């Protein structure tokens, strides 16, 4: 047995410390277990990362004090995954371990919830008591209590007293004289306690689904060398059904499964489909769980009570010990990348976890990320395509409308971004009793406030972006830092009253739609309307019931929704986002347009999509219209290859934030000099420069961008620089490995 344990202490040090294992604990100290160790002048909790027989610090070693908590033990494979993350994403060991464990479990403040229940201690004695005291008025309460408990042992006090029609004092009397025993029963804080779902059976798979499932089976049974499959399936091709049946296969082999979905698509609709198929075997993790619920769900997984987890990013770290399958739905989603340290990409970590635990990984999408698609084309991943909708329903027809031609004729009322074609199409739907979704990925009323007299644009003083105008509140708000001011009535700069609001947001589209389509029920869904108290679920529920004719929204409505009566999707302005200074701008636009378009025609009537744009000749828009992912990939990939942007090479961004612009820029230049020796020929460096959004929350931002191959040494140097070096006061550094965006 090993004598020494390497322990990571819950402190922000990128270091593990060696401790002696006290012989009485030797059998129970294993990798991943939580221990209490002396540290400085006090004791701290930590996790055992490794075991060994010798240490470089042999003489000075302290001894582990005790086991922290027998229940919280991380599987060894997860500890390995954490070490890989710390190395690859250049974060500390401790940051990596933190992301493996929800705070509710790690911090030890949440306790299991229990309920006191009562039962008769010895039935024989209880019966004797009932017999001896029958009819005695003073003993009525006790007799009733015993009768109830003999029939139904294990009742909680409130239910018991109710049934026995008595008060608490006879119960206390019975406990005192030993006729009734009380005990603590573990309670689950059940997030589903208020809803039930009807069970569903597997649907007979169609040919494409059958083929996909065969490949999954081969992976699960170890007949396929590669462990990752890319499932490229158009919207409504039945991917979710493939996931469900794949999970069932894993369960048959006694292995568990993790399903990752973007938080935004963790809608009750999606969750219900999984619950309907797997009932109590499933645990759902999302950001709206209370700490108590999260604690209980984690322990149910850890104790092997559930076999399936559905959740957002962090569900990837579910402590299964017999993992068989990981599914990453909508694998192209940018939200799989965590925005604070460790800045890991859940899809990539999923691939690594699958490798470490010999689990199959399915990446699914209608618009795969270029990274995954390239891996599939180069045969590192198994590629499975499902290019037809279920039952061969047609993909929606897509029409492009040129917004430049939308100007009103003389004498015609100006209808903003509603072109005649769009208005007509909506009117037809209203007459037929069908529903419409209108999409615009910008909330608020107007994108900016402009003085027509002096050209002043109202902007946030803390960030380098214009304020957005919100008409209902008569406020200007900054969408980066959240600050708000009252909308001025005349120009704060020159005093003129000629204020113009330009660039429409969802709030404006909502008010225009209400004016154009009188009598129609128009509802807006974006983070503002949700904050104002209209819950996500409530709106979707009304939409499903047909109480809403036109649903207007931001990307919140782009994903995962399945409403058969929606026959028209209007994209108000497809160009938004297209010209952002980011190499993924086209990819994001293509994905978003495809996803939104996929909401149309999921029922019996063929759907129609109207894409409004100022640039109908733009290549990305053209490929989105023809819904041709492969052609778009070929097109955009040539651009990336020419510039060595991912997936042609990796991308690492070193970010600087500083209150003082000058000092920030100087320090960035200094760091560049330190890093230069590690930048060989195959690495392209963009020298220190202001970030595209130069200032956020009063801090100036600079970045150095590295891209290319063979980055190991540079990565090591960057790790040293960001984690070990002391930076000047007031300057923050952070590194983003495989950055998803340059903004
Ligand atoms: P995707 O995840 O690709 O968008 P879904 O799995 O949600 O597709 O399937 C779309 C719709 O088709 C759902 O209503 C689903 O119940 C139905 N469906 C999926 N597979 C089948 C099948 N084999 N037979 C009949 N209906 C199916
Ligand atoms: Zn701001």
**Rounded to an integer, what distance in angstroms lies between the CA atom of residue 143 and that of residue 141?**
5
Give how far Cα 172 sits from Cα of 98, 105, 130, 141, 145, Å.
Answer: 45, 35, 17, 11, 11
Contacts of 109 (CB under 8 A, 6+ apart): none
Using the 8-state DSSP alphabet, how is residue 337 labeled? B
Using an 8 Å Cβ cutoff, are 692 and 581 in contact?
yes
Map residue 676 onto helix, strand or coil: helix
Contacts of 640 (CB under 8 A, 6+ apart): 370, 583, 646, 647, 648
**Rounded to an integer, what distance in angstroms lies between the CA atom of residue 257 and that of residue 288?**
22
The three-point CA angle 174-175-181 to 5° equals 120
What is the per-residue pLDDT for 523?
A: 94
Ligand sitting nearest the alpha carbon of 270: 1
Ligand sitting nearest the alpha carbon of 458: 2
Residue nearest to atom 24 of ligand 1 (CA): 203
Count Cβ atoms below 10 Å from residue 534 Cβ, excluding itself: 15
239 lines ligand 1 (CB under 6 A): yes
What is the per-residue pLDDT for 416?
A: 67
Q: Which residues of the chain have pLDDT under 50?
A: none
Q: How far is the CA of 448 from the centre of ligand 2 (A)?
A: 13
Helices then strands, counting H and E runs in the chain, come out as 22, 31
Q: Determine the residue of 241, 242, 327, 391 to mutate for testing ligand 1's pocket, defined as the one with the most ligand atoms within 8 A of the Cβ atom.
A: 241
What is the per-residue pLDDT for 194?
A: 67
Atom of ligand 1 nearest to the CA of 235: 4
Helical segments of 598-657, H only: 619-626, 629-643
Q: Is beta strand 155-156 parallel, antiparallel or unpaired with respect to 4-9?
A: unpaired
612 lines ligand 1 (CB under 6 A): no
Q: What is the pLDDT of residues 69-107, one digit of tens each?
A: 666 678 999 999 999 999 999 998 888 988 898 887 777
640 lines ligand 1 (CB under 6 A): no
203 lines ligand 1 (CB under 6 A): yes
245 lines ligand 1 (CB under 6 A): no
The protein residues having their C-beta less than 5 angstroms from ligand 2 (an ion) are 460, 462-463, 478, 480-481
pTM: 0.86
Atom of ligand 1 nearest to the CA of 329: 2
Using an 8 Å Cβ cutoff, are 370 and 633 in contact?
yes
200 lines ligand 1 (CB under 6 A): no
Atom of ligand 1 nearest to the CA of 209: 23
Question: Helices 619-626 and 585-597 sit at what angle, rounded to 10 degrees?
Answer: 30
Residue linked to tokens 């306790």? 111
Using an 8 Å Cβ cutoff, are 106 and 10 in contact?
yes
Q: Determine the residue of 200, 212, 238 to mutate for testing ligand 1's pocket, defined as the one with the most ligand atoms within 8 A of the Cβ atom.
A: 238
Using an 8 Å Cβ cutoff, are 4 and 18 in contact?
yes
Q: How many CA atoms within 13 Å lie on the side-chain side of 488?
A: 20
Q: How far is the CA of 239 from the centre of ligand 1 (A)?
A: 7
Ligand sitting nearest the alpha carbon of 560: 1
Count Cβ atoms below 10 Å from residue 132 Cβ, excluding itself: 10
Using the 8-state DSSP alphabet, how is residue 33 labeled? B
What is the per-residue pLDDT for 413?
A: 53
Ligand sitting nearest the alpha carbon of 272: 1
Q: How far is the CA of 459 from the centre of ligand 1 (A)?
A: 47
Q: How far is the CA of 240 from the centre of ligand 1 (A)?
A: 7
Atom of ligand 1 nearest to the CA of 366: 3
Q: How far is the CA of 695 from the centre of ligand 2 (A)?
A: 9
Beta-strand ranges (E) seen in 273-341 are 282-285, 308-311, 323-329
Atom of ligand 1 nearest to the CA of 240: 6
241 lines ligand 1 (CB under 6 A): yes
Structure tokens at 697: 């929350």
């Amino acid at each position: 047995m090993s004598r020494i344990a390497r322990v990571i202490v819950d402190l922000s040090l990128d270091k593990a410390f060696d401790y002696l294992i006290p012989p009485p604990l030797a059998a129970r100290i294993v990798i991943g277990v939580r221990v209490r160790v002396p540290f400085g002048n006090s004791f701290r909790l930590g996790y055992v990362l490794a075991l060994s027989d010798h240490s470089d610090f042999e003489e000075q070693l302290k001894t582990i004090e005790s086991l922290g908590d027998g229940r919280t033990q991380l599987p060894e494979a997860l500890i390995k995954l954490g070490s890989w993350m710390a190395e690859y994403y250049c974060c500390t060991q401790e940051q990596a371990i933190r992301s493996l464990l929800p705070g509710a479990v790690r911090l030890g403040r949440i306790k299991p919830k229990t309920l006191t229940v009562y039962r008769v201690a010895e039935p024989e004695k209880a019966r004797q008591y009932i017999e001896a005291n029958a009819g005695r008025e003073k003993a009525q309460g006790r007799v009733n209590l015993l009768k109830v408990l003999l029939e139904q042992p294990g009742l909680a006090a409130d239910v018991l007293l109710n049934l026995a029609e008595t008060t608490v004092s006879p119960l206390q009397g019975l406990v005192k004289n030993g006729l009734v025993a009380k005990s603590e029963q573990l309670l689950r804080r059940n997030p589903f306690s208020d809803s039930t779902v009807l069970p569903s059976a597997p649907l007979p798979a169609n040919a494409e689904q059958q083929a996909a499932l065969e490949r999954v089976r081969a992976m699960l049974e170890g007949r396929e060398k590669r462990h990752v499959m890319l499932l490229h399936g158009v919207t409504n091709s039945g991917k979710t059904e493939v996931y469900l049946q794949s999970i069932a296969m894993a369960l048959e082999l006694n292995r568990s499964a993790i399903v990752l979905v973007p938080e935004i698509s963790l809608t009750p609709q999606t969750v219900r489909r999984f619950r309907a198929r797997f009932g109590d075997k499933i645990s759902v993790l999302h950001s709206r769980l209370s700490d108590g619920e999260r604690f209980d769900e984690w322990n149910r997984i850890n104790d092997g009570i559930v076999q399936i987890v559905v959740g957002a990013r962090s569900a990837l770290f579910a402590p299964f010990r017999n993992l068989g399958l990981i599914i990453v739905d909508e694998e192209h989603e940018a939200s799989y990348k965590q925005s604070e340290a460790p800045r890991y990409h859940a899809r990539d970590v999923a691939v690594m976890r699958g490798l470490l635990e010999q689990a199959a990984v399915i990446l699914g999408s209608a618009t795969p990320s270029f990274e995954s698609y390239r891996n599939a084309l180069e045969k590192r991943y198994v590629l499975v395509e499902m290019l037809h909708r279920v039952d061969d329903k047609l993909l929606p027809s897509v029409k492009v409308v040129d917004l430049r031609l939308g100007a009103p004729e003389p004498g015609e009322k100006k209808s903003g971004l509603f072109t005649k074609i769009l208005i007509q199409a909506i009117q037809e739907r209203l007459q037929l009793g069908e529903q419409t979704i209108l999409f615009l990925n910008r909330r608020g009323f107007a994108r900016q406030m402009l003085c027509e007299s002096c050209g002043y644009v109202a902007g946030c003083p803390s960030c380098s972006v214009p304020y957005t105008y919100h008409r209902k509140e008569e406020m200007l708000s900054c969408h980066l830092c959240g600050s708000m001011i009252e909308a001025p009535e005349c120009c704060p700069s020159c005093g003129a009253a000629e204020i113009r609001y330009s660039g429409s947001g969802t709030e404006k589209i909502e008010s225009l739609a209400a004016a154009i389509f009188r009598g129609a029920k128009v509802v807006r869904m974006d983070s503002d309307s949700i904050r104002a108290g209209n819950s996500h679920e409530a709106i979707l529920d009304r939409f499903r019931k047909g109480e809403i004719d036109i649903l207007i929204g931001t990307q919140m409505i782009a994903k995962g929704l399945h409403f058969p009566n929606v026959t028209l999707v209007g994209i108000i302005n497809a160009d938004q986002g297209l010209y952002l200074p980011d190499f993924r701008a086209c990819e994001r636009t293509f994905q978003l347009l495809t996803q939104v378009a996929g909401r149309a025609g999921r029922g019996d009537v063929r759907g129609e999509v109207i894409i409004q744009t100022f640039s109908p000749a733009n290549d990305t828009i053209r490929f989105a219209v023809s819904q041709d992912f492969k052609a778009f990939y070929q097109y955009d990939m040539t651009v990336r290859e020419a510039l060595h942007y991912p997936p042609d090479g990796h991308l690492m961004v070193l970010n600087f934030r500083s209150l003082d612009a000058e000092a920030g820029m100087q320090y960035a230049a200094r760091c560049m000099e330190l890093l230069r020796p590690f930048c060989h020929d195959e690495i392209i460096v963009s020298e220190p420069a202001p970030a595209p959004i130069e200032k956020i929350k009063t801090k100036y931002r600079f970045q150095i961008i590295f891209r290319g191959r063979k980055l190991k040494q540079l990565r090591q140097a960057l790790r040293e620089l960001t984690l070990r070096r002391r930076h000047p006061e007031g300057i923050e550094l952070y590194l983003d490995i495989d950055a998803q965006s340059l903004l």
